[in-house]
Structure 1
C-alpha cells in the first residue's frame, strides 16, 4: 500500500509541474518581458497653452529616453534622458498644447525598446478661454476730495496674486502703483477729475505656473469731488433749524458718516419748512448735493421739495423767518425767497418732486465759487412736518 500511494503522489506532482510549465511557456513564448524603472514623480507646471513636465527618474542606468502620450494616443512626445548624476535625476521639457483637460501616460524606455510601467497624469492646459473668464479686482467705491481720492477695493478674486492700477494724475500723466492683496483702501494724492483708471489683476492658475494671466478693467474718477466734511461748520443764522432733539446735532449731519441722525424738535423752526445754513470752509464751484436718509427708519421724512442757496457775503445776510405769515399756499416761501435775494443769496437749484429717501442732485454749472450754503427744506416725502436724516454732502468741481 505504501509503494502504491507513493506512485500515485509522484504522478500528481509530475502532472502539476507539467501544467505550470505549460502556463509559464504561454506567457514567455515571445521571450521574457523586461521593464525599466517607472518614473518616481511627474510634476506638471501650467503655462499659456503649454505645460512644463519635470520627471524624476531613478538610478536605473538602462533608462535612455521616454515618451509622453495621451491615453487616446492623439498626442505623442518623445524625449531623451541625459543624466546629470549617477543617482536619481530630473528631466524637464515643455510641450505646446491646446487649452483643455488632458490624461497622459508617462513611460521611460531603454535602448532596446523596453519600457516602464506607465505613470498616469491628469492635468489642465490654460489658454484664452481661461483668461477671458478672469475678472480684475473691483473698486467698490471712489471718494474724490479736493486734495486726494480714496479707492475702496472689493474682495480679491480667487487665484489673483496681485493687482496694479494705472491712473491719470492732476496733470494728466499716467501713474502706476501696485496694490497687494491685503490692501483694502488706496489713497491717491493726485488725480484728475473724470480721468482714466485702469485696473490690472494678475493670476496664477497654480502655484508653480510658468506663465501668469491677466484681467484688465477700466473706469474713471468722478467728475466732481466732495467738500471735506472736516471743513464744514454750522452757521446757525437767525430762524435756522436748531441742533435738533433726541441727542442729534448739526455736527452729525456733516461728519462724513451715516448712522447718526439729525431729528427735528417740535418747534416751528425745526419742522417743515425749515432752513439750515453752513460754512463749507472754502469758496467752491458747487456741482452737487447729497442727502442720506435716516438709516434706522422713517426715510419718508426726507425732503420732497427743497432748494439750495449760496452766497459769499455773510455779513448782513440774515433773512426773515421762513415760517412767518405763511399759509397753506406757502405764501411765506415766496416772501422768504424775495428777502433772500435782496440779502445777496443765489438760488442754485430747486427740486419739487423728489421721491428718493436718499438722493443726489446736480447743481447746474455756474461761474461763481461760493462758500456759504443753505438747505431750504419745504416739504417731506410722506407729508409729515417732522424731519430727520443722517448726512449732508456738498460736491464741487473746483475751489479757490
Structure 2
C-alpha cells in the first residue's frame, strides 16, 4: 500500500513539472511571435560597385528568383536610405539591375536590402568600394617631353615612359600656322616626328587612366605643357670649313674639321702639342660656311666622349659676317685679344656672343636675337676650363630661328 502511494506521488510530481515546462516554453515562443512571424525574402545574390567617373559609381545588383521582390534600398552604416530602386524583372539582364550614384570622393561601406510590397525585407548584403574624384585625378601624371630636336623641316620629340595605369595619351601641339593639332600617343611610342610646327609653339600631353580594371570611364590627367625649341639645328651636311688665314688647322691625332660638324659625337678634334705652327693652342679661331644664310640663335659644343672635359672652352666668342672680301683678320696669337676683336670688327665681322665663365664641358648656349641673317660664322676659343692650352672636343652645332 505504501509503494502504491509513493508511485502516485511521483507521477503527480512529474505531471506538475511537465505542465510548468510547457507553460515556460509557450511563454518563450510568445516573445518571438507576439508581433507575428518574420518573413524574409531573397537576399541579393551579388552586389558589385565599379568606378564610373569623377565622383560617380555604378551599382550592379543581381536578384534571385523570389517573385515577391519588387524594390530595394541602399543603406549607410546608420541605416539611412541612400538610394531606393524598383525591381522590374522585365528590364533585367541576367537578373541584374544597374543604377548610378553621385557620391563624394572617398571610401564607403553600404548595405543593400531587397523588399516586397508588404514591407518584408531580405537579409542585408554589405558592399565596400571607393569613389574616385578630383583628388585622385590630381595625382595622375602625363608623359613629359624629354628631348626636342628641331630642324628647318621638322622636329623630333622624345617622351618619358608611361606610368602604371596609363591607358593612352593625347599630344597637342601648335603647327606652323599657329593652329592647335592633336594626335594619339600610344604607350608603346616613345618618339614622334612632326613636320609642321611653330618655333617656340605650345606642346601639351594629357593621359587617360583607369583607377581599376573594371572602371567604366577613363580619368584624364592635367595637360603637361612645354614648348617647341625656339631655334632649329642647321643641317650638318651643308656646313663646311673655311680655314681662313691664321685659323686653327685640322689638328693632330687624326683630327679634321669635318669631325666637328658631321652630326656624330665620338670622333674628336684635338689640337697639336708643342710649339709647332699647327699647335692650335688656346686662343685660336675656327671659321665655317653654314651653307645657308641663317638668323643664328644658338651654339652647342659636345665634349670629347669619355675624356678631357676640362679642355673645352671656358671663355669663347661667336662672330658672323656675310662679306669675306674685306680682308683677312690678324693672327689672334700676335697680341691681346682686344686687338684681334678691333681688327675683326673693322673687317666686317659682328660679335654675336661673348662668354667668359663657362664651366660645362658640354654646353648649349642661346645667341641673342639679331635681325640680320648670316652665312659665315667664327668660333673664337680663348681659354680652357682647366686652364691648360690644349683643346679637345667632339662636335659643333649651330642653331637658327630662320633661314633665307
The answer to whether the Cα contact below 8 Å between 1:59 and 1:87 also exists between their aligned partners in 2 is no
Are positions 1:348 and 2:364 aligned together?
no
Partner of 1:89: 95
Pick aligned residue for 1:37 from 27, 31, 42: 42
Are positions 1:132 and 2:144 aligned together?
no
Distance 1:200 1:234 in 2: 45
C-alpha deviations, 1:263-311, integer Å up to 9, x for none?
A: 3332643332223233322110112212233342432211112122223
The answer to whether the Cα contact below 8 Å between 1:239 and 1:269 also exists between their aligned partners in 2 is no
Are positions 1:291 and 2:301 aligned together?
yes
C-alpha deviations, 1:213-260, integer Å up to 9, x for none?
A: 322233322222221334333344555444455565544433445455
Change in CA separation of 1:64 and 1:244 when aligned onto 2, cut-off 3 Å: farther
The answer to whether the Cα contact below 8 Å between 1:286 and 1:396 also exists between their aligned partners in 2 is yes
C-alpha deviations, 1:352-373, integer Å up to 9, x for none?
A: 3333333333323333322222
Normalising by structure 1, report the TM-score: 0.82
Partner of 1:146: 152
Aligned residue-pair number: 384
Partner of 2:286: 276
The answer to whether the Cα contact below 8 Å between 2:160 and 2:190 also exists between their aligned partners in 1 is yes
The answer to whether the Cα contact below 8 Å between 1:64 and 1:110 also exists between their aligned partners in 2 is yes
CA shift for structure 1 position 27: 6.3
The answer to whether the Cα contact below 8 Å between 2:73 and 2:81 also exists between their aligned partners in 1 is no
C-alpha deviations, 1:75-98, integer Å up to 9, x for none?
A: 521211111389941101111111
Alignment of 1:1-400 (within 5 A): 33-46=38-51, 47-74=53-80, 76-84=82-90, 88-214=94-220, 215-237=222-244, 239-246=246-253, 249-266=256-273, 268-313=278-323, 321-323=331-333, 326=334, 331=335, 333=337, 336-337=340-341, 340-341=344-345, 344-400=348-404
Distance 1:112 1:387 in 2: 97
Q: Which moved more, 1:257-266 or 1:18-27?
A: 18-27
Gap regions ≥5 residues in structure 2: 1-13
Change in CA separation of 1:69 and 1:301 when aligned onto 2, cut-off 3 Å: same
Normalising by structure 2, report the TM-score: 0.81
The answer to whether the Cα contact below 8 Å between 1:287 and 1:364 also exists between their aligned partners in 2 is yes
The answer to whether the Cα contact below 8 Å between 2:168 and 2:187 also exists between their aligned partners in 1 is yes
Distance 1:288 1:143 in 2: 13
Distance 2:93 2:270 in 1: 83
CA shift for structure 1 position 171: 1.6
Gap regions ≥5 residues in structure 1: 1-10
**Secondary structure, counterpart of 1:122 in structure 2:** strand
C-alpha deviations, 1:19-49, integer Å up to 9, x for none?
A: 9999888766765554333323323222221
The answer to whether the Cα contact below 8 Å between 2:251 and 2:279 also exists between their aligned partners in 1 is no
Distance 2:319 2:294 in 1: 13
Q: Which moved more, 1:180-189 or 1:72-81?
A: 72-81
Change in CA separation of 1:310 and 1:88 when aligned onto 2, cut-off 3 Å: closer
The structure whose Rg is larger is 2
Distance 1:81 1:52 in 2: 16
Distance 2:325 2:219 in 1: 63
Q: Which moved more, 1:93-102 or 1:223-232?
A: 223-232
Change in CA separation of 1:397 and 1:88 when aligned onto 2, cut-off 3 Å: closer
The answer to whether the Cα contact below 8 Å between 1:310 and 1:347 also exists between their aligned partners in 2 is yes
Distance 1:246 1:205 in 2: 59
CA shift for structure 1 position 345: 3.8
The answer to whether the Cα contact below 8 Å between 1:59 and 1:88 also exists between their aligned partners in 2 is no
Change in CA separation of 1:109 and 1:370 when aligned onto 2, cut-off 3 Å: same
Partner of 2:3: none
